[in-house]
Amino acid sequence: MVAVGVRAQTLRVAAAADLQYAMKAIVGQFEAKTGTQVSVSYGSSGNFRTQIENGAPFDLFFSADEQYPQALMKAGLADAQSLLVYAQGHLVLWAPQSENLQLKAKGLQVLRDPRVRKIAVANPEIAPYGRAAITALRNAGLYDALKSKLVFGENVSQAAQFAESGSAQVGIISLSLTFAGSMKDGECWEIPPDLYPPIQQEAVIITASRNKTDAKAFLAFVAGESGRAILARYGLAPSALGAKP
């Protein structure tokens, strides 16, 4: 018997960990609008770059920086014509209310408090938010005094989990993750953006993708009014899309 119709391919997306909540909302709206199924894997941008270089079957890569998509394009593994600057990331200090650290009053100096024994950050070797966190500490003149307190998550989402669970008293994480229901009641203070390079987040279509039509449609949705509104709602204020912020 000949099959009637062919089941549509699922769109496979590799997404930086800071997108965990925003991407869920974007995918929900996109699937409802188009009927296309989307499967998202979350992790550190550096690990995804390595996976894609090794042939991981992703259609799209949403990085938390510009470095990894640019590297893939230079290697011919991502379509330069598809490049989208989709968001501007922001670093924050976050702590549970129970710690009573008064982040807004003390800012980064709270990290010197003896009650702060561990500070959670993403691994700077593979996570853009981790690199930004270390840069902010260095530029604030605090890194040498605090480096023994740092505990590293594989990605920024794991760093947030360390702070939320009490494994660390404070996390230096992405603003976007603080919109999770379990974190909304915590203390949050935005780190001055002049202490770290802009976190310009870029997305690209993977050259080996067999589903480029849906991948292009998904990028267009993210760049459109609905996608921009969702990103803004989760603290990922979009930069001028397609251009340097």
Tens of pLDDT, residue by residue over 131-174, are 999 999 999 999 999 999 999 999 999 999 999 999 999 999 99
C-beta separation of 31 from 221 below 8 A = no
Number of domains in the chain: 2
Tell me, yes or no, whether 205 lies in a domain: yes
Question: Cα–Cα distance between 107 and 121 in angstroms, integer?
Answer: 16
Whether 101 maps to a domain, the answer reads: yes
Give percent of the chain above pLDDT 90. Answer: 90
List Cα–Cα distances, 81 to 16, 69, 73, 88, in angstroms.
21, 12, 10, 20
Q: Are residues 172 and 117 in the same domain?
A: yes
**Which H or E run includes 98?**
none
Residue 80 and residue 42 share a domain:
yes
Whether 210 is in a domain gets the answer yes
For the stretch 34-93, pLDDT in tens is 999 999 999 999 999 999 999 999 999 999 999 999 999 999 999 999 999 999 999 999
- Residue 80 CB neighbour total at 10 angstroms: 14
Domain membership of residue 136 as a residue range: 91-190
Q: What are phi and psi of 47, to 5 degrees?
A: -65, -40
* Residues 92 and 170 sit within 8 Å (Cβ to Cβ): no
The CATH number linked to 129 is 3.40.190.10
Same domain (yes/no): 206, 186: no
Answer yes or no: do 123 and 45 share one domain.
no
Examine the domain organization and report whether 65 and 110 are in the same domain: no
pTM assigned to the model: 0.90
Task: Take residue 160 and report the two structure tokens written for it.
Answer: 């947030």
Local structure of 45: helix, strand or coil = helix
In a domain, 6, yes or no: no
